[in-house]
Amino acid sequence: MKILVLGQGPLPPEQKPGQAGRLSAPSIRAWHIARALQEEGHAVALVSLKAASDEFSLPRELAPDLQLYSIGEAALTGQAALSRLETTFQPDAAVAVSAWPSYLGALYLAKSLPFWADFFGSPLAEGQAKAFQAGDDALLEPFARFERVTLRRADAVSTVSPYQEHATVGALATHGRLNHFTDGYRLAYNIPATLDPTRLPASDEPFLRGEIVPNDAFVALWSGGFNTWTDIDTLYNGLVQAMQANPRLHFVATGGSLPPHDSQTFPRFQKMAAESEFKDRFHLLGWVPYEDLHNYYLESDLGLILDRWSYEGILGSRTRLLDWLLYGLPAVVTETAYLTEELVREGLAFSFPHGSAVDLAERLRELAEDPARLAGAATRGKAFVVERYSYSAACRPLLEWAVNPRQAPDAGQTLPSFAAAENGNDRDRLLAEYEAQIEAKNKSIAALESWAGEMETRLQKSNSPSLYRRFSRRFKR
């Protein structure tokens, strides 16, 4: 079969070696799904959707029957780029990974094309976490729109946990998809967090030990974004209490802010760390090259990830835990997602109650004093995650569907009246186009502001104060 896969760019194969940059969990998941389909014998056209861009690149062959296209969202929404690709590639089915690509696929793919949407976490639960952070329920609207448009169009939907699968069935019901046509037809499936089981070799040179932390340090690692769900107050206070008790404890973080979704959480944590009495033991390294991440895992003693209790946490997952365990790094966690519950149950992660800095500090203290316990979890964890979460195993429901992709029995039918959409797809397409154009304009404005700031700095350093004042007044109008 020929399968078109839509993912949120940049994707892992677009990352330049040695270049620090953010690769999101949804982009990594899209890459894993594309590889699983290609390795199963399908021809795959993988689309990397780029925000604030109107590009449409020629395909790049990544492997036999796996081609990569880079398409700007403005080109997709305003220039029929997806329709052109459908015409040239002629897919038998399409798969979209995460909420925004699924939304665009639902709006712009041919209505006769079998369409699988992968909701990597609950859109509305993520929207709730963002609305809580800003204190503004108006932020829920786009998340509700993404979910509504996608669930009314998709022929099958995958989720990241059993909890989310059940919640999605309820959402499908409210949108009229549990009707007399689909009785007996399965609409929702679970594809858990996915993992590339290939282990990269360790670097010959140290990344942390003797470079950033002392050789004998006990290193607690955070890798990835600081999202709206991150309980940074408990994280900071627990670490400080643990540092008071254990002078060997150092905290290392690779990753940071997640703009435009969350540009508040990480800067607030940075400020807390910079003002700490233990600021020299907080090492916030920012985003590092993707191909180097495993070296930080290998040189750390313990991973650390914690949530506020929220429905985003219950219905989502924490993919980074799998990568840590692949390299023998167990973790301290809050039991929120199904994955964290499973790993704690298997003795591969160590939990503490939500919001309890005292319990976090105590867990860090006791594990630092029990290296045999950590070593046992590290040894068992590698085999466990490879067997259960390798992308070829985790994607099995999608791979079985792709053998004979089909539309749902209610495709093209009038949905029950109680589920009638308030707005039609024409309005939704206009909204998607406006959003893509606004992103592109914001990028241009940011570039101009950066140039103006650079010029102002240069003029300040020059020996022409009158010229500086003229330019300064002009920029500030």
* The pLDDT of residue 52 is above 80: no
Same domain, 176 and 56: yes
Over residues 13-22, mean pLDDT: 78
Contact present, 221 and 252 (Cβ < 8 Å): yes
The last residue of one of the domains, among 389, 422, 447, is 389
Query: Over pLDDT 90: what percentage of the chain?
Result: 78
Same domain, 107 and 241: no
| Per-residue confidence band for 471, with pLDDT thresholds at 50, 70 and 90 | very low
Over residues 287-312, mean pLDDT: 94
**How far is residue 259 from each of residues 27, 48, 70, 262, 306, measured CA to CA in Å?**
15, 18, 21, 5, 20
- Name the domain count of the chain: 2
Which tokens is 401 given?
A: 């569907």
Contact present, 272 and 278 (Cβ < 8 Å): no
User: Higher model confidence: residue 469 or residue 432?
Assistant: 432
Q: For residue 427, what pLDDT is reported?
A: 67
The identity of residue 301, as a single letter, is D
Name 333's Cβ contacts closer than 8 Å, sequence gap at least 6.
305, 306, 318, 321, 340, 343, 344, 349, 350, 351
Q: In this predicted model, what pLDDT tens digit does every residue of 409-455 receive, in sequence order?
A: 999 999 998 876 655 666 667 667 766 766 666 655 655 655 555 55
Least confident of 18-27, 308-317, 358-367, 373-382: 18-27
Same domain, 350 and 255: yes
Q: For residue 355, what pLDDT is reported?
A: 97
Residue 465 lies in a domain: no
Residue with the two structure tokens 């932020």? 139
Contact present, 373 and 301 (Cβ < 8 Å): no
Over residues 272-289, mean pLDDT: 95
Residue 38 lies in a domain: yes
Residue 93 lies in a domain: yes
Residue 211 lies in a domain: no
Same domain, 11 and 106: yes
Same domain, 226 and 335: yes
Same domain, 135 and 270: no
Same domain, 226 and 188: no
Same domain, 384 and 410: no
Same domain, 241 and 352: yes
- Average pLDDT over all residues of the chain: 90
Decide: residue 296, CB within 10 A, 0-12 exposed, 13-18 middle, 19+ buried: buried
- The DSSP code for 432 is H
* The pLDDT of residue 49 is above 80: yes
Q: How far from the centroid of its chain's Cα atoms is residue 378's Cα?
A: 25
Which tokens is 243 given?
A: 């540092």
* The pLDDT of residue 476 is above 80: no
Residue 360 lies in a domain: yes
Residue 203 lies in a domain: no
Backbone angle region of 219, left / alpha / beta, with phi > 0 → left and psi within -120 to 50 → alpha: beta
Residue 475 lies in a domain: no
Distance (Å, rounded) from C-alpha 44 to C-alpha 92? 10
**Selection from 124, 79, 76 nearest residue 99 by Cα:** 124
Residue 200 lies in a domain: no
pTM of the model: 0.87
Distance (Å, rounded) from C-alpha 194 to C-alpha 385? 9
Distance (Å, rounded) from C-alpha 4 to C-alpha 110? 12
Same domain, 238 and 324: yes
Radius of gyration for the alpha carbons in the chain, expressed in angstroms and rounded: 24
Same domain, 126 and 168: yes
Q: In this predicted model, what pLDDT tens digit does every residue of 80-130 receive, in sequence order?
A: 899 999 999 999 999 999 999 999 999 999 999 999 999 999 999 999 999
- The DSSP code for 205 is S
Residue 91 lies in domain: 2-194+393-434
Same domain, 29 and 119: yes
User: Higher model confidence: residue 468 or residue 175?
Assistant: 175
**CATH assignment of the domain containing 320:** 3.40.50.2000
Biggest alpha carbon–alpha carbon distance for the chain: 79
